[in-house]
Chains A and B, each alone.
Chain A
């Protein structure tokens, strides 16, 4: 049912227009002055010199987690590709050389032009291999092909960028890599 909203009738000052126009101009002038003399108080960022602060849960560019020996954790099960609503993940699997590991990923491509950054792939991953916590939100490339992230791009990250994440520190170069490697390199009977 339609609802009738009663508008407050304008006062005589408002009806005169000139005072209200002056008030509006004063607001504009105030913000212009703040931009000149109190720049840091502005709610906007001067991108790209200033970068926005990104929360931990933000779904940014993907990365593939690494085992202590530096191989990607991905077992090429295809769950992310199955969950992906945009069909932007392409995976090919092959036999692993490590006797303890069955299946290894050979090709892992994410087309970031097609990706909708919904995060379903990271949720579907059964081995916590695919994450979207890189906080990289800038995608700038010259050609369409460069927007496709390959396996080499996805495993190219530095544990120093994830100081609080224990899982990331187990990768080569991380603080916990040495002890993780001891367990990982366990004797195969």
Chain B
């Protein structure tokens, strides 16, 4: 196998349309892409295993075969590596029995040495092989006797089971977060290509030849990379499984909430997979412009702390209101990067209701790093562009630290200013009244005179603007540990005297502050977001 493959060209809205003939019917398809994507654009799904839209094309699975009319008659070609040409004649299983048989045979070969592990496989339910079997296989097993399977795998890990069947390594520890099941691997090469061309750190390799090929790391090395859990997503079978999700839940029992990861200003699109009010995993949600299909381990594993160390909503908003009303000096309103546009609109409304005595501060003291070009911008302040959009300061926490004696009240929303690895903000202790609205009982909440729990970003509806100036929509996963907790915009707007009962009220208020949001509704923001014109991210 060569070390160099081409990235597939994906169709865009501006792709030139060309006419091709599919099953003798003329259809207009995007002209600058491969056949598989072109057929998908007109609604014909082609089963495939090794092809992935954001990985280089390898073409080793031969599952996406179609027939093409050529100079020497109709030939079987793979749809994923055949570029679309005007006037080409394509035959799919709808008209060609040969394609149907070829796909069925490929499917049968793929399953010959695949274990019947579906009952105990974490991938079952979202497995490409299962989908392909229903789509184009449905063969009866022809392996006699049934325990004559020949698993590809490292010979070191092989053993003989009670039936006399030679088995492969079932849980090979290839890294701190991932287990490899060598029996289930179909050698599609996706994980290798991911580590090579996306993660740019070639830690996985195919070893051996032909029937003895197996996935492995270099001797003595481990699969350990910031994006290594993405190989469990790209793996079409259950060969690569994440240790944290191993045997936790069957995937068909999970409900999915599409939302945005708020721990980075790129705002990676994610699915929150939850059941019975508990988050079981976070999966990347495909957005071609933002994070494609990738998600960093930090963003993916962050959910494990979402329901830990939460701050309860005790005391009620009334107490905070009284504290604000009785304040004589100036008031500092501090917002953090996890605030949605709605929270910021409510905060600005609160500032206006307090008049000149209140100042808004924003920013993050966490360390900023460089964009990694995959799914992180390196900026820990997720909604920085949203701050700019609403005309709020996004980086003036130092002003607060220096002029701390001018203020008598501090209201800190979703910003752990004390705990973010920086001692310099301990000076806020000089402010006599410290009100903290936070999801977590963190260091800032511990230092507060009045701490009030609010909902975490995974449990609220809202919007954020990412570093690419795309307005993205957050949806509330029903995983809030306490029904008493309310979203920040609701609490802030009640303090301002004009309670928003739903997120959309706050969004309409935000549209008054930011003309770019005017005329928008939540329904008009697509799941992949909306490019804001005139933003300044």
Contacts and interface: CB of A to CB of B under 8 A. Distances in A.
Contact of A82 (B162, B247, B252): B252
B158 A189 contact: yes
B247 A103 contact: yes
Interface stretch (A1-9, A18-26, A38-46, A70-78): A70-78
B196 interface: no
A72 B247 CA distance: 17
A189 B160 contact: yes
Interface in A63-93: 75-79, 82, 93
B9 interface: no
B120 A76 contact: yes
B162 A102 contact: no
Interface string B237-257: 000000000111010110000
B534 interface: no
Contacts of A13: none
A187 B247 CA distance: 27
A100 B161 contact: yes
A188 B159 contact: yes
Interface residues of A, number: 21
A100 B119 contact: no
A188 B160 CA distance: 6
B120 A186 contact: no
A89 to B, nearest CB: 12
A186 B247 contact: no
Contacts of B248: 93
A36 interface: no
Nearest to B158: A189
A163 interface: no
Contacts of A82: 250, 252
A68 to B, nearest CB: 9
Contact of A94 (B161, B247, B253): B247
B171 interface: yes
B225 to A, nearest CB: 24
A12 interface: no
Interface string B153-174: 0000011111000010011000
Contacts of B250: 77-78, 82
Contact of A186 (B160, B170, B246): B160
Contacts of A102: 117, 120, 170-171
Nearest to A185: B162
Contacts of B171: 95, 102
A166 interface: no
A95 B120 CA distance: 11
Contacts of A188: 159-160
A187 B164 CA distance: 11
Contacts, number: 44
Contacts of B119: 75, 77, 79, 126-127
B318 to A, nearest CB: 41
Contact of B247 (A95, A99, A183, A189): A95
Contacts of A100: 159, 161-162, 167
Nearest to B243: A95
Given A82-B252, A93-B247, A103 B120 contact: yes
Given A75-B119, A79-B119, A183 B162 contact: yes
Contacts of A77: 118-120, 250
Contacts of A184: 162
Contacts of B167: 100
Contacts of A183: 162
B162 A186 contact: yes
B504 to A, nearest CB: 35
A188 B246 CA distance: 24
Interface in B160-202: 160-162, 167, 170-171
A183 B158 CA distance: 18
A76 B247 contact: yes
B184 to A, nearest CB: 11
Nearest to A125: B119
A95 B241 CA distance: 13
A109 B120 CA distance: 19
A96 B261 CA distance: 34
Contacts of B247: 76, 93-95, 103
A105 to B, nearest CB: 10
A174 B533 CA distance: 77
Interface of A: 75-79, 82, 93-95, 99-100, 102-103, 126-127, 183-184, 186-189
Interface of B: 117-120, 158-162, 167, 170-171, 246-248, 250, 252-253
* Top 10 A-B residue pairs of the complex, sorted by shortest distance between their CB atoms: A77-B119, A93-B247, A103-B120, A189-B159, A78-B250, A126-B119, A188-B159, A75-B120, A102-B120, A186-B162
9 contacts: A75-B119, A75-B120, A77-B250, A95-B246, A99-B170, A100-B162, A184-B162, A186-B161, A187-B160
Given A82-B250, A103-B247, 10 more contacts: A75-B120, A77-B120, A78-B253, A94-B247, A102-B120, A102-B170, A102-B171, A183-B162, A189-B159, A189-B160
